[in-house]
Amino acid sequence: MNTPRPAGSAARRSPAISTEVESVMQFKAGNIRPARALFRVCTTYISMLLLSLILGLISPETAFAAEDRLLQLMEQTRRESAEQVATEEIYSRNNILFCTGTSDAASANNTAAEHMLKGDYLRAAEILENALLRSALFLPFRYNLGLCRIHLEELPVALIHLNKALQLLPEYSKTWIQIGFIHERTGRDDLAMQYYKSALRHNPRELEAYTLTGDIYFKRNQLEMAARHYDRSLRENPRYPNGLLGRAKIHFERGEYLKAIIQMKSIDTSGEYDKALHYYYAESAYRLRDYQTAFDQYGELLKHRGDRFFLTTSTFIIYHKMELSRRFIER
Alpha-carbon distance of 138 to 30, in angstroms, equals 17
At 18 the pLDDT is 30
CA trace torsion 270, 272, 278, 279 (10° rounding)? 180
At 331 the pLDDT is 86
User: Global pTM?
Assistant: 0.74
Q: At 90, which helix (H) or strand (E)? A: strand 90-93
Q: At 46, which helix (H) or strand (E)? A: helix 37-54
Residue boundaries of the structural domains of the chain: 1-87, 275-331
Which of 182, 188, 124 is CA-nearest to residue 156? 182
Q: CB neighbours (10 Å) of residue 10?
A: 9
At 1 the pLDDT is 41
| Alpha-helix residue ranges (DSSP H) falling in 88-154 | 104-117, 121-132, 139-151
pLDDT along the chain (331 residues), means of 10: 38 31 36 48 63 68 66 56 54 93 92 96 98 92 98 97 96 97 97 98 97 98 98 98 98 98 97 97 98 98 94 96 96 86
Alpha-carbon distance of 167 to 139, in angstroms, equals 10
